[in-house]
Structure 1
Amino acid sequence: MSCLKLPGGRVTSSPEEMRDHAMDFYTNLFGGEQCSTEGREEILEGLPQLSPEEKAALDLELTLEELTGAVNQMASGRAPGIDGLSGEFLKHFWGVLGADLRAVFSECFRTGPLPVSCRRAVLSLLPKKGDLALLKNWRPVALLTVDYKVLSRALSNRLRGVLEMVIQQDQTYCIPDRTIMDNIFLCGM
């Protein structure tokens, strides 16, 4: 990106002004106002709840099998994260690294925060279409480390088992085995 158009219409190529504009733009876009917790119980009333047993199952320590499954689901040919490691690297050396990575995650869940590697990302902007001097025509992408990708995949796989219990049947977006066509059939009822 060589220049950006500022809100007043002036174009700048100053790295400092471009950085400040990007900070303001994305803070306004993603910052939002904090929601009040007033009336929270009323809003949540009647929503499906997990049983204590289901909650306990979600809180169990991650197993090596769950992490192995997550590693095997990683797509090949993807860009490495800020650690420089790719999914292929982890797949190849999983027999050596798997138990140690599981031990790291287990310790983190027992004692507090995730490792620094899991809490860092490199943000990059990819051009979309339109006037590339306008920041709205750039899409932010976060490059994450491979260990974080494994952890998030393992956790999402675990959550998949209870999604249908807590998400209403007419919610179809991003729910496995549900499609937008389901909503069309609901309209006819």
Structure 2
Amino acid sequence: MDAVDLIQPFLVEEIESAIKELPRNKAPSPDGLPGEFYQHCWPIIREDVIAAIQHFYQIAQLPISWGSTHTVLIPKKENPCFLKNYRPISICDTKYKIISRILVSQMKGILPSLVGMKQGAFVPG
């Protein structure tokens, strides 16, 4: 894979693979739909989701709602009394996660040729 491959439209197989890889038992996105919804209802929503993600690629503009996150405080212990007793998490839209997974998957193939031999952070092995 080279840089030219990174500008190709997202393939249906890439979208479906990203959806299959979505983690289970995670907080739902701001629209209330968790990854399991996409996996379970895939036969029903397949065409619409594929069209939406491919449309994003064609116009190179992410809908505002897809890029929005909700920050939620999760208690670290029972009966938290102080702010330090909470852990913040950012809840992202599931379609944003799908696009991110596709981009990461595509970049894995080209990353070794872009990163120097002495680079160690964020590079497996």
TM-score, scaled relative to structure 2: 0.81
Provide closer, same or farther for how the CA distance between residues 165 and 86 of structure 1 changes in structure 2, counting only shifts above 3 A. same
The answer to whether the Cα contact below 8 Å between 2:10 and 2:57 also exists between their aligned partners in 1 is no
The Cα shift of 1:118 comes to 1.0
Unaligned runs of 5+ in 2: none
Unaligned runs of 5+ in 1: 1-52, 179-189
Alignment check: 8 A CA contact 2:71 2:88 kept: yes
Matched residue, 2:54: 106
Q: CA deviation at 1:133?
A: 4.7
Question: Identity rate of aligned residues, in percent?
Answer: 29
Q: Deviations over 1:42-92 (max 9, x none)?
A: xxxxxxxxxxx8222101000110011111111111111111111111111
Offset of residue 159 of structure 1: 0.8
- Post-superposition Cα deviations, 1:94-152, rounded to whole Å, max 9, x if no partner, equal 223233222212222222421233121101234569x9356xx7543210111111111
Q: What is aligned with 1:79?
A: 27
Kept after mapping to 2: 8 A contact 1:128/1:139: yes
1:1-189 equivalent positions in 2, closer than 5 A: 54-126=2-74, 132-133=82-83, 139-176=87-124, 178=125
Two-structure CA RMSD over aligned residues (Å): 2.3
Aligned partner of 1:95: which letter? P
Residues paired across the two proteins, number: 122
- 1:158 match: secondary structure: helix
How far apart, CA to CA, are the structure 2 residues paired with 1:80 and 1:156? 21
Amino acid corresponding to residue 4 of structure 2 in structure 1:
A
More relative contact order, 1 or 2 (CA 8 Å, 6+ apart): 2
Structure number with bigger Rg: 1
Amino acid corresponding to residue 82 of structure 2 in structure 1: L
- In 2 relative to 1, CA 78–160 (structure 1 residues): closer, same or farther, beyond 3 Å? same
